[in-house]
Each structure stands twice: as C-alpha cells, then as structure tokens.
Structure 1
C-alpha cells in the first residue's frame, strides 16, 4: 500500500496514526522520534498526497477519490505547512533553552527566574513581565520582575503581599485557574473604578495588552506568570501557549527550589 501511495513505510505509519487522531507527541513517543520529526514527515506526506487537512488525509488513505485542486491552492497549502513547521520547531527550541536555563541555575530561583522572564519577553515580543508567587492566605507577591517600569515596581514593593480583586486579570485568573488574555487593560470597566492594581498596571506600568497564566502544581495554584505590552497589541493563541510553557517550567523551577531549601533546612 505504501508503494501505491508513494509513501515510505515510516511515512505511511505516521500518516495512518495522524489520520486516526493521534497527536504529534503520541506518534513521536511510539516511534522514538522527536515531535518536530513527526511534523517534518507530515509536511512531506501532505505534499506527496496533495492533501491539506487531516480529513483529506484520512479519505486518501481509505482510497477515496481526492477533490480536484489547482496548483495555486497547493502552493498555499505547502507554504502554510512550512510556516507551521518552523513555528513548531521554534517552540521546541525555546523549551530546550528554558530547560537549559533551569539546569544551569542549580535550583536557585533568584538566578533562574530573571533569565526565564527575559527569554519569554523576547520571544513573546513584550516589554515587561512579572512572576507572582501565590501565598497561603490567597495573596500575591511580585517576587521576580524583568523590564518593569520603576514606578510600578515601587508600587508592588510597597504593597508586599496583596489581594487581587475579582475584576482584575490576576483576580479572574485566581478564580478560574485559567489563562486571562486582555486586549486592552484601559478598555475594561474595572479601569473606571478605583481598583488600585488596575490603575497601577495601566498608569504606573503603562501596560495595555496583558496575559496572566496560572502556575499550577497539580490542582494547587503556586503563582502567576504575567507578560505585558505597552501598546494595544493583543497576544495571539500561539503566544499564550508559549507563555504557558514558560509558566509551566517556572513551576518546576520554583518547586525544585523549595525542595532544595527544605532539604537544606532539615540538615542545618
């Protein structure tokens, strides 16, 4: 069958798995290859079979007659696949870099968090970022910041541990345990109130577009990873997924640091 389709045995295996609904990660784990390699194979498969979706791929594998497609449509499909592949590989490289940063820090959050935040801001094209630690009493503490305007940093220092109202992005994230993506912090109704956090964010920090991502250890909230743009440029879904990756790795770094501190305290 692979010869009839013009696919190698490996390509056919990947094509069938993907058409059956398996993810890149699942296929990669089964075949002991990287997810980026799965994507590379799929780009080749789509080009060879002249398909542009998982549904078309499944139909082709079942031997159904393909829908006619003109060359310009196929060129657009191939270009889109190539772009998606480049973006996926970039995300994998970013993850590798974050893991390298964490490993090099030897569990020291004071060393690793600014590096993670700096790298996240560069890739997410944002001006400043904050890593809030979540306290047992439900408050937030801005322990790590990068690029933050001095007036906003001073305000956060003066607040220490503070509670975020349910109308703010941080408060909504706390309540929902979900990503909160705000197009413009000045356009929301809470900005017309006297909420101190929203005014500090917008007026002292100059923030406009904002995303807050929960840092979860199991079901427990341990912090929040927030990034800010000082112009109205909404964060895309790809950017929020990238920020989520940084948040997830920050949880690992924080938990490792806490474990190391606990071990050191037990032996002191």
Structure 2
C-alpha cells in the first residue's frame, strides 16, 4: 500500500497532484513553497516507481508498480517525468492565455488575473504584481495576485509612487532590461531606508524577485514582477517563461485599449 511507502505529507501532495491540482494550489493549501511541492513530487515518483501523473493516479488507486522500472534509474526517471509534465503544462497555459485574451472583450482585470495566476504556478512563485509605468521612475500597482494583505495595503496607500534608482523597478526603468535579484535582503539598499525595498521584504515577505519590462514597441509601459518568499533565484528558464507572460500582458492591454477606443467611437 502507498501509505506504507509515503509519509502523510507525501500522500496528501500525491493525491492532490494526481487529481489535477497545480503546484501553486497545493502550496497555498499546505502553507509551503511551490518549489517544495515539486521536491516532494520528485521523491514521490521515485518511491512509487512511477513516471507520469497517470501512473501516479493508478498507484494511489492500488495498482502495482511497473516491474520494468529499475530502482537505480528511478531518480532520473522521476526528474524527466516531472520535466515533461511541466513542459506540457507550460504549453497548455500559454495556449489558455491566448484563448482568454482572444475572448476577453476588453475585460482586462479578468485577463490579468489569469495571466498572473499561470505565471505564478509555472514559475513556482508565491505572488505577482503588474505595475503600470508613468515615466520618471513612477509606478503604480494595477493588478496583483497572491500578494500578502500588508503589502497590498501598502501599495494601495502609495498610489502612483517614485522609486529610487537602486530598486529593481528603478533599474528596470533605466535600462528596460530584466532585473533578477537572488535575495532582496542581501543588497545594500535593504540596509538603508528605501520604502519600497522595506515593504517588499517585510510586508511582502519576498526574498527572490524578478522584474520583466513590458514594452509596447520601444516604449516601457509597465513591469511584470513575480516574487518567491524563500531564497531561490529564478533560473533562465523561469525568467524566459515570465517574459512570455509579460509579452502576453502587453497584448492584452493593447487589445483592451483598442476595444475601449472602438466603443468610445460607436454612435
């Protein structure tokens, strides 16, 4: 029986994943990081000698392990299986985002919430913010997902605010490039009195962070930011994925503006 092989926490995660829950959903329910969910799943796949979600479901339902799976290859099999499933999830998510944008009819809040949700799940991040850019290093948080209440309240109170050149948003505004910070508490600005860095670290509980510029032609229109609440720097793969979602956000915003303009011109 699987309960003799897996710990209670592993059994809970395995059952949730087998029935279709995402890393983000499982992490939120259990109060752990999405990356921890993936680590547990790699162990679960190895312990149960499975190489797919379908096999996992079968094992949890009482099926015997596949005798062809060799124990000494179990770690490789589990990692490849999860990587393949994650690649399929990425393709499905990006396709779903395009579908949502095409059918949104200008409902930008719904679209942005969906885009941020997919980005957080696939990039294994706890919360995300889409900032509008107003020029002169001034930003405002226009859409949020999963953000701690204290950080949300702080952003609401700020409205449109200027950021210092040393912050992630300040560097993004200056260079229009991706800004990845392995640990927001390890930079010198954290030891100063910068209000945004303080709020990010203490109100948001953020540690690792990446900001993606949102460009319309050659003009900066915003920043797509995602945060992890543990020190786990974003890989190039995660950053590339976040860039895809940032690009889709720009398309969604442009579509919404176009629809609004058309409606305003309708007699």
TM category, shorter: 0.5 to 0.7
Give the distance between the partners of 2:155 and 2:101, measured in 1 at CA. 26
Distance 1:111 1:98 in 2: 11
Question: In structure 2, what is the Cα distance between the partners aligned to 1:78 and 1:232?
Answer: 27
Secondary structure (helix, strand or coil) at the match of 1:132 reads strand
Q: In the aligned structure 2, how far is the partner of 1:194 from the partner of 1:146?
A: 26
5+ long unaligned stretches in structure 1: 1-76
Residue in 1 that maps onto 2:17: none
Q: Determine if the alignment matches structure 1 residue 204 to structure 2 residue 203.
A: yes
Q: TM-score, normalised by structure 2?
A: 0.67
Are the equivalent residues in 2 in contact too, given 1:101–1:116 (CA < 8 A)? no
Query: Residue 218 of structure 1 aligns with which residue?
Result: 217
Aligned mates of 2:104, 2:91 — CA distance in 1? 20
Correspondence for 2:118 = 119
2:135 counterpart of 1:143: no
Secondary structure class of the residue paired with 1:166: coil
Q: Structure 1 stretch 138-147 or stretch 243-252: which is displaced more?
A: 138-147
What's the counterpart of residue 253 of structure 2? Answer: 254
How far is the alpha carbon of 1:136 from its aligned partner?
4.5
Alignment of 1:63-82 (within 5 A): none
- Within 5 Å, which residues of 2 pair with 1:123-202? 123-136=122-135, 138-202=137-201
Q: Which residue of 2 aligns with 1:94?
A: 93
Deviation at 1:105, TM superposition (A): 1.8
Counterpart residue number, 1:73: none
User: What is the root-mean-square deviation of aligned Cα atoms in Å?
Assistant: 2.3
- Unmatched runs of 5 consecutive residues or more in structure 2: 1-75
Q: Secondary structure at the match of 2:162?
A: coil
- Structure with bigger gyration radius: 1
Residue deviations 1:148-207, cap 9 Å, x none? 011111111111111121100111111111111110000000001111100000011100
Is the CA contact 1:133–1:141 (under 8 Å) kept in the aligned structure 2?
A: yes
After TM superposition, list the pairs within 5 Å mapping 1:2-13 onto structure 2: none
Please say if residues 90 and 122 of structure 2, whose CA atoms lie closer than 8 Å, have aligned partners that are also in contact: no
Deviation string, structure 1 residues 19-52 (Cα, Å, up to 9, x no partner): xxxxxxxxxxxxxxxxxxxxxxxxxxxxxxxxxx
